[in-house]
């Protein structure tokens, strides 16, 4: 059974994976200004994952 903490843990894990993928796309796939956009969105995903991780046990 999945409770609120396991849902937040899975959401954190998935957002970290997507953040790493976006940063990798920005670093290796796009050489122009779009690469900076992908990397900054990836860092935003890390920030939201950090908030989800902080909410575990408090919700």
Residue 1: pLDDT over 90: no
Q: Which distant-in-sequence residues (6+ apart) come within 8 Å of 13 by Cβ?
A: none
pTM score of the predicted model? 0.84
pLDDT of res. 39:
93
As given in the structure block, the two tokens for residue 18 are: 């997507």
Phi, psi of 31 (to 5 degrees): -100, -5
Domain encompassing residue 34:
4-55
- Residue, of 14 and 57, whose pLDDT is higher: 14
Q: Count how many domains the chain has.
A: 1
Q: Which tens digit of pLDDT belongs to each residue from 24-59?
A: 999 999 888 999 999 999 999 999 999 988 988 887
Cα separation, 17 vs 19, in Å, equals 5
């Amino acid at each position: 059974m999945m409770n609120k903490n396991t849902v937040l843990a899975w959401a954190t894990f998935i957002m970290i994976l997507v953040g790493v993928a976006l940063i990798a796309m920005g670093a290796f796939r796009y050489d122009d200004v779009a690469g900076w956009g992908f990397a900054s969105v990836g860092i935003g995903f890390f920030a939201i994952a950090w908030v989800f991780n902080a909410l575990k046990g408090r919700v």
